[in-house]
Amino acid sequence: MAKTEVILTHNIVGLGGESDQVKVAAGYARNYLFPQGLAIPLTGANKRRLEVLKQRRGEREAHDLNTMSELAKSISKLVCVITVKTGEDGKLFGTVTSGMIADQLKTQFEVTLDKKKIHLEHPIRTLGEHEIELHLHQDVNTTLKLRVESSTPLPAPPAGSEAKKDEQRTEKRGRRPESGGDKVEAGERKPRPYRTDRPTRSDGPERSEKGPKAQKGSAPQKSE
Give the chain's end-to-end CA distance (angstroms, integer): 172
pLDDT given for residue 194 in this prediction: 53
User: For residue 90, which of 115, 125, 114 has the smallest C-alpha distance?
Assistant: 125
Helix (H, G, I), strand (E, B) or coil at 111: coil
The pLDDT score that the predictor gives to residue 208 is: 46
DSSP symbol at 195: P
Domains of the chain: 3-48 (3.40.5.10), 73-150 (3.10.430.100)
Per-residue confidence (pLDDT) for residue 102, from 0 to 100: 95
Query: Splitting the chain (224 residues) into consecutive groups of 10 residues, what average pLDDT does each group show?
Result: 90 91 94 95 88 92 95 95 87 91 95 93 91 94 95 63 62 56 52 55 49 48 47
Task: Return the pLDDT at 223.
Answer: 46
Q: Is the pTM of this model over 0.85?
A: no
Buried b (16+ CB within 10 A) or exposed e, 149-169: eeeeeeeeeeeeeeeeeeeee
In one-letter notation, the amino acid at residue 137 is H
